[in-house]
Structure 1
Amino acid sequence: MRATRFFISTLKEAPADAEIISHKLMMRAGLIKRLGSGIYNYMPMGLRVIRKVEAIVREEMNRAGAIEMMMPVVQPAELWQETGRWQKYGAELLRVKDRHGRDFIIQPTSEEVITDVARSDIKSYRQLPINFYHIQTKFRDERRPRFGLMRGREFTMKDAYSFDRDVASMQVSYKIMFDAYVRIFQRFGLQFRAVAADNGAIGGTGSHEFHVIADTGEDDLVYCPTSDYAANMEAAVALPTTTERVAPTQQLTKVSTPGTVKCEQVSELLGISLDKNVKSLVFAVDGTEDGSVKKQLWLLLLRADHQLNEIKMHKVAGLANARMATEEEIVEWFGCVPGYLGPIGTKLPINIVADHTVAMMTDFVCGANEADYHLTGVNWERDLPLPMVADIRNVQAGDPSPDGKGVLAIQRGIEVGHVFQLGTSYSEAMKATFLDENGKPQFLQMGCYGIGVTRILGAAIEQNFDEKGIVWPAALAPFSVVLCPMSYDRSEQVKTETDNLYVALQAAGVDVILDDRGERPGAMFADWELIGVPHRIVIGERGLKEGKLEYQGRRETAATAVSVDEMVAFIQEKLAA
């Protein structure tokens, strides 16, 4: 490729609305151009990177036995109504009507469509297992699109769907795809971590997320440095911080704590550490309109220095549809304003859930359900019965690892892939069955596997950049090598040697671009450092007098002189490494 026949549109400064480094660098390097909120044109330079991502994904999907097909961007609402996701998916699902007033959606994913294919065409156990995938445009109507391709509304995703006869077979398919994902991210040349995850809106029984490690990531990844345990914050198991509850040493006492509505204020007033305090969070579960089910209030108890994990909280029996209680509801049930609430002496009966760590606490402090008062020396089974106990908090660095092999650490990551064990959640809803060896119908066992193709670009840049611009991993770079001739349009010798090298590299299968634009050296080098091409060769009259060319890797601080005759072999060795 010659630069004069390509489209290069670099910028000295990033647009004002570019927030994080990947967004800024993609805009400056001319990889993307904003069309609307969360919607981008993929410019030629960016599209080359996307095609390289897709090529690696395709090769590994095919290697894993998946079969490529293509499902439509626009899907009929009836399929989503069958599974209930028409209502459940929420505002991110873009709903549209055609000219006849029929409902459709712009797909965020394709579980319903592929299940419809399966129930029509898979009749016998002899057709199983089978795995379909496609690489297709998706749309999710984000409330606040931001960070360029990291949190856009329109994006490209590879999603695959496996169908099996039973759970054991589905888990085999899941492992095959998990291993394929490991190979994919290894080939991308990215630092990544696979973590246990919550299934969220997709549903199912188990899942793992694949995260690119980056300080700017939106997700907290929990892992044990001395074992294989890893999970995202939503799914990480929070064990009690102590293994036994010690005997009480204090008497239950009501103390005056005027104006202390926060646990930090109570701790300061009483001269105790924050981890001796228990904080109270109140949620409401609404009753039915006909009154057959009454409204309930729930009191969740956490150690004051811990944070509630709402994903875990909603999985507690009875709390799936919980919402934060209003102040009026709190006063009605507790007889007290927020800030002084606790589990002892509520005005009306309250459902109480204590986190595992709280259940092991002794001589703790909590609200007295009376304004300006707290209780000290509170102890389970002496002062109040032990309530329901559940894991409802976020883990913290230093917590014991659930596998008993060390303590937990936390790092930031960017989610770029997710694999799910769906089970029969979709096949049952859509009546997708096959006939087993005995001629009896059975529900298909499903798996689902997604990779954010366009999100890979942003994640790779967040992990690989410097003050000059992008530093692409070799497998993802838009071009592997750039030729930067000095005075290409004025020196016949430089032009001849550059053209000869260009032809030789192309013949050797090297993805090379020749910058024949006639730019000044500083401007030319700045463009390619910004774009992030891994290997640069400079051809100049001074070096040619000695039979030398100048090579410099994008991560290197100094150039290396290489003879003209050896340059092709030198580059091939660099690319192979």
Structure 2
Amino acid sequence: MRLSRYFLPVTKETPADAQIVSHKLMLRAGLVRQTAAGIYAWLPLGQRVLKKIEQIVREEQDRAGAVELLMPTLQSAELWRQSGRYDAYGPEMLRIRDRHDRDMLYGPTNEEMITQIFLGNVKSYRDLPRILYHIQWKFRDEVRPRFGVMRGREFLMKDAYSFDLDEAGGRHSYNRMFVAYLNTFARMGLRAIPMQADTGPIGGDLSHEFIILAPSGESEVFYHSNWEKAPELSAVDFDDVAGLQSIVDGYTADYAATDEKRDADREAAAGEALRQSRGVEVGHIFFFGTKYSGSMGMSVQTKDGTNVYPQMGSYGVGVSRLMGAIIEASHDDAGIIWPESVAPYKVGLVNMRVDDAACSAAADDLYRKLESAGVETLYDDRDERGGAKFATMDVIGLPWQLIIGPKGLEKGVVELKRRATGEREELSIDSALKRLGAA
């Protein structure tokens, strides 16, 4: 993409209403713009990152055996009355009434709807177990939206729901999602700590929040220092019940809990290894048994002919919130530093002298070769000062910057900069293309 044709409204100034790093940089880098309190438009660069994050989430859900569908944003209030949550949920739920005077709501979550859709269409043990998920916009009317997309009112969320015949199967589904979440966040360059957490209005007695440590986090968290060097996951067999349970046991052996679920005995046992910090929640999983299937009277028939209410769980990932969490974890004074897995473009190609015919011809040729090789490239072909171009590239945080100018061309070299380290080196054009995977 040529920057001269793109819509990228970067700014030099830090917005006065932005309180945390991710909010400041998302505005400065032209990723989002606020349209109402807690509601954001996703501009082209931000949309590309959002889609990359969404795709990683989707791939890991699919790998764990979940099946994708898509549910609507608007829901009937009658479903929520059946489960008893319509009045209990609180003012965060946006309640509306249609032209026929029917009570509706803008979905903050989908336990009731998925229960009706799935269990309303299956009656036999042969249809279980299943995990269904979708990636959809939600709305929660926060009393005080703040921190940009980290605590907005409208947000993109992946929510999954498991259905099993018995508790053992339900806990295995829970473990599937537990491990899938660890894989998801690791692919984005994040170390997420699963912490025992309160179940809140979702319900149930088993719940973990996945927390990214960050000074700006809304949660007070406590954890064993071993979490600071937690190992990465190896290959996982999601059908191996014992193996999956072993992984989960290993990850929960070291203490980690949100403020609501602190355990004085385990904290005492941790001793000097106990750490306290703030964190950002990027995922939350729940196992709540028959709370929804039972309250809505939806059963299935077992192999011996008896009817049981399926055991259920729900599993959420804040897809749009993850963008803020990644920036909180990966930035410097100059701007964002995107991990390659979610970067909007892999390389920023900078033409230092668009008024120099030879320089522009060489830059155009480089751009064509990068594009032909499938290397996502943002080409700064604007008639701007070099300093302004470098500032733009630094603030938007692409992993690589490829800089071409008349002096380098005379020597037969271009400059390649790695954004994460600031390391620069002069290379021949062919070597630079090879380094970037274009030759």
> Which ranges in structure 1 are unaligned for 5 or more consecutive residues?
240-394
Deviations 1:289-342 (A, max 9, x none): xxxxxxxxxxxxxxxxxxxxxxxxxxxxxxxxxxxxxxxxxxxxxxxxxxxxxx
Deviation at 1:68, TM superposition (A): 0.8
Return closer, same or farther for 1:486/1:405 CA change in 2, 3 Å cut-off: same
Partner Cα separation in structure 2 for residue 541 and residue 46 of structure 1: 33
Q: Residue 16 of structure 1: SS of its match in structure 2?
A: coil
Q: In the alignment, what sits opposite 1:400?
A: 268
- Deviation of the 1:4 alpha carbon: 2.0
Distance 2:413 2:288 in 1: 59
> Rg bigger for which structure?
1
Fraction of identical pairs, as percent? 47
Q: Which residue of 2 aligns with 1:108?
A: 108
Where does residue 314 of structure 1 map in the other structure? none
In 2, Cα distance between the equivalents of 1:400 and 1:238?
Answer: 6
CA distance in 2 between partners of 1:452 and 1:51 (Å): 13
Aligned partner of 2:308 in structure 1 is 442
Q: Deviations over 1:91-118 (max 9, x none)?
A: 1011000011110110000000000112
1:474 aligns with 2:340: yes
Say whether residues 1:419 and 2:251 are aligned partners.
no
Confirm or deny: 8 A CA contact 1:158 1:453 kept in the other structure.
yes
What is residue 235 of structure 1 aligned with on the other side?
A: 261
Deviation at 1:558, TM superposition (A): 4.1
Aligned partner of 1:337 in structure 2 is none
Q: Residue 406 and residue 167 in structure 1: after superposition, are their counterparts in 2 closer, same or farther (change >3 A)?
A: farther
Could you tell me how far apart the structure 2 residues matched to 1:176 and 1:557 are?
39
Q: Give how far 1:532 is off.
A: 1.0
Q: Which residue number corresponds to residue 565 of structure 1?
A: 430
Residues 65 and 131, structure 1, Cα contact 8 Å, conserved in 2: yes
CA distance in 2: counterparts of 1:413 and 1:131, whole angstroms? 28
What do you get for the CA RMSD once the two structures are aligned? 1.5
Q: How far does residue 419 in structure 1 lie from its aligned partner after superposition? A: 0.9
Residue range with higher mean Cα deviation, 462-471 or 70-79: 462-471
The verdict on how the C-alpha distance between 1:446 and 1:30 changes in structure 2, with shifts beyond 3 A counting, is same
Q: Cα distance, 1:26 vs. partner?
A: 0.7
Task: Quote the residue 1:410 is aligned against.
Answer: 276
Report the CA distance between 1:225 and its aligned residue: 2.3
Aligned to 2:89: 89
Query: Secondary structure of 1:62's partner?
Result: helix
Q: Distance in 2 between matches of 1:82 and 1:572?
A: 56
Counterpart in the other structure of 1:360: none
Distance 1:428 1:191, change over 3 A: same
Pairwise CA distance, 1:523: 0.5
Name 1:259's counterpart in structure 2.
none
Maintained 8 Å contact 1:67/1:131: yes
Structure 1 segment 429-468 matched on structure 2, within 5 A = 429-468=295-334
Alignment partner, residue 4 of structure 2: 4
Shift of 1:21: 1.4
Instruction: String of CA shifts for 1:501-535, please: whole Å, max 9, x gaps.
Output: 21222222211111111211100110111111111
Q: How far has the Cα of 1:405 moved from its partner?
A: 8.3
Give me the whole-angstrom Cα distance separating, in 2, the residues matched to 1:493 and 1:445.
68
In the alignment, is the contact (CA less than 8 A) between 1:190 and 1:473 conserved in 2? no
Matches within 5 A, 1:187-226: 187-226=187-226
User: Paired residue for 2:370?
Assistant: 505
Q: Deviations over 1:483-514 (max 9, x none)?
A: 001112x2222122212221222222211111
CA deviation vs aligned residue, 1:180-235 (integer Å, no higher than 9, x gap):
11110000011321111111111012011111121211112211225622121211
Find out whether 1:521 has 2:386 as its counterpart: yes
Q: How many residue pairs end up in the alignment?
A: 412
Runs (4+) off by over 3 Å: 404-407
In the alignment, is the contact (CA less than 8 A) between 1:119 and 1:431 conserved in 2? no
**Where do residues 21-420 of structure 1 align in structure 2 (5 Å cutoff)?**
21-226=21-226, 228-239=254-265, 399-401=267-269, 407-420=273-286
**What TM-score, normalized by structure 1, do the two folds share?**
0.70
- Which residue identity does 1:549 align to in structure 2? V
Instruction: Name the CA distance, whole Å, in 2 between partners of 1:407 and 1:555.
Output: 30
Secondary structure of the 2:260 match is coil
Task: Tell me which residue corresponds to 2:397.
Answer: 532
Question: Is 1:548 aligned to residue 413 of structure 2?
Answer: yes
Q: 190-199 or 93-102: which moved more?
A: 190-199
